[in-house]
Amino acid sequence: MNRRDFLTTATVTSASLALTGCNESQRQAIDYSKHPQSKDIQTKKVNFNKNKKTIIKLATSWPAHFPIMGVGVERFAQRLKDISGGSLEIKLYPKNVLVPALAVFDACSSGQIDAFHSGPYYWKGKNSAFSLYSGIPFGFTAEEINSWMLFGGGLDLWREQYAKYNLHPFMGGNTNIQMGGWFRKPINSLEDMKGLKMRIPGLGGEVFAKMGVNPILLPAGEIYSSLERGVIDATEWVGPALDIKMGFYKAAPYYYSGWHEPGSILELTFNKKAWKNLAFEHKSMIEVASSEMNSNMTYEFHAQNIQALQTLQELNVNIMQFPKEVIDAGKLALNEVIAELSAKNKDFQIVYNSIENHLKLSKQWSDTSLRYFLNER
């Protein structure tokens, strides 16, 4: 169809719609309440009172002004103040100011705070399925996980499972693809992984454990000194932008490309009751501002990573790739971890099935389009 035909058809279609009215599926497509992030937004329309300021107490798992994540939440708060004409104020509590970094989930669930910004994989102890909302090793890229969340059923499942904890989540950013980590010695074979003491949390840690690695959890402030003293042999963190600030390159000169966190989601989560009590307009503003925060953080990670990678190369860091036998072993280990967690936890199985269905199709499309393009570029 050429452009002229398309325009003619489009005109005829809208003219006939005006005459006949739209059918049910078309009506749904333009129903604002069916926006993927805001299905509940119009169920109870309470308008805001222009003379009364609404304050939301929001705690984060990051220090104040922490690059990209902390700064991103601060921009989100400022944006809401601006677009609400000052009627909505997000009162920010960085890590440990009101609640400890990893207590924000419970504090929000109980209503001590109204909202938090953190990462869903931190709550796998509550329900192993929650780690899946951050993504899986060898899984979704940032773009793919966003499409699963918004249009593939991910966000619905997440909200259904968090509702049991009186919580209502939104996507609140994405670290974009992460690096595989810093190693004191090069990895030339699967044998070199055996017995390695490595700081690596989450599902990635469980996969590495199956490959013979000894995964260790350490507070952020202790990772560098442990690596420098040889208490650990390796650590993953995020990507060049944040890793360079930790100084890992001074203690471990081999920096590997990654597959364990290809697009980890960060969350903006509300106490469900606090969310329900918000005025319709404020809910809409939060929808919009959280969507902006989600994309801005993703792109800021990319923008800062490309600069930091260049600096690391100037510092003669060895940028490495794992040998194929390590990758192959990682894929087998992932299958075992998924099978075990699915057998133990029905929720995990449900979420993983949804991911698997979307990922299967996504891989075909990404291989056809993006992989082809990147190989040729």
Contact residues for Ca ion (CB under 5 A)?
Answer: 178, 261
Q: How far apart are CA 202 and CA 236, in angstroms?
A: 11
* E strands, 188-262, in order: 197-199, 214-216, 234-235, 254-256
Q: Name the residue among 253, 357, 293, 368 with its Cα closest to residue 92.
A: 293
Q: Which is nearer to Ca ion, 152 or 204 (CB)?
A: 204
Closest separation between CB of residue 110 and Ca ion, Å?
A: 28
Beta partners for residue 254, in sequence order: 183, 318
Q: Which is nearer to Ca ion, 80 or 309 (CB)?
A: 309
Q: Which is nearer to Ca ion, 178 or 291 (CB)?
A: 178
- The phi-psi region of residue 111 (left if phi > 0; otherwise alpha if psi is between -120 and 50; otherwise beta) is left
Taking CA atoms, 75 is separated from 149, 187, 193, 297, in Å, by 23, 40, 41, 10
Closest separation between CB of residue 144 and Ca ion, Å?
A: 18
Helix, strand, coil tally for the chain in percent (to 5): 55, 15, 30
Closest separation between CB of residue 52 and Ca ion, Å?
A: 42
Token match 């499409």: residue? 147
Q: Which is nearer to Ca ion, 261 or 347 (CB)?
A: 261
Beta partners for residue 199, in sequence order: 216, 235
Q: Which is nearer to Ca ion, 233 or 261 (CB)?
A: 261
Classified as helix, coil or strand, 348 is helix
Contact between residue 255 and residue 318 where contact means Cβ atoms under 8 Å apart: yes
Contact between residue 60 and residue 73 where contact means Cβ atoms under 8 Å apart: yes
Amino acid at residue number 244: I
Closest separation between CB of residue 257 and Ca ion, Å?
A: 13
Closest separation between CB of residue 347 and Ca ion, Å?
A: 23
Closest separation between CB of residue 43 and Ca ion, Å?
A: 37
Closest separation between CB of residue 178 and Ca ion, Å?
A: 5
Q: Which is nearer to Ca ion, 200 or 355 (CB)?
A: 200
Q: Which is nearer to Ca ion, 261 or 300 (CB)?
A: 261
